[in-house]
Amino acid sequence: MLRKILDLFDSGDSFTDPVCGMTVSLAKPHGGSHEYKGETYYFCGPGCRVAFSKDPDPYLSGEKKIEM
Ligand SMILES: [Zn+2]
């Protein structure tokens, strides 16, 4: 398990979900992706993507965050 987590960090193909802070695999983002201001964001689940798409700015600034 620990090995798997380390591999994820090393591979460089992961992204931090801006809503909950979880690490998302770019190869298989469970929540899909959302484009905002020319940047693509990836999410751990559909709930995070919906929350972000409704109101992206507070999540990007760190003002708003969902605890998972
Ligand atoms: Zn999330």
Tally of domains within the chain: 1
For residue 3, how far is its CA from the centre of ligand 1 (angstroms)?
22
In 3D space, the residue among 2, 28, 3 whose CA is nearest the CA of residue 14 turns out to be: 28
CA distances from 29 to 13, 40, 55 (A): 11, 12, 20
**41 and 14 in contact (C-beta within 8 Å)?**
no
Task: Let me know if residue 68 belongs to a domain.
Answer: no
Domain-embedded: residue 67: no
Domain assignment present for 56: yes
Residue 18 domain-assigned?
A: yes
Residue 38's domain spans which residues?
A: 2-61
In a domain, 26, yes or no: yes
Nearest to 55 by CA among 30, 31, 36: 36
55 Cα to the center of ligand 1, angstroms: 14
In a domain, 52, yes or no: yes
CA–centroid distance, residue 65 to ligand 1 (Å): 9
Determine if the pTM surpasses 0.85. no
CA within 13 Å, CB half, 27:
4
Per-residue pLDDT reduced to its tens digit, 4-44: 555 555 556 899 999 999 999 998 899 999 999 999 999 99
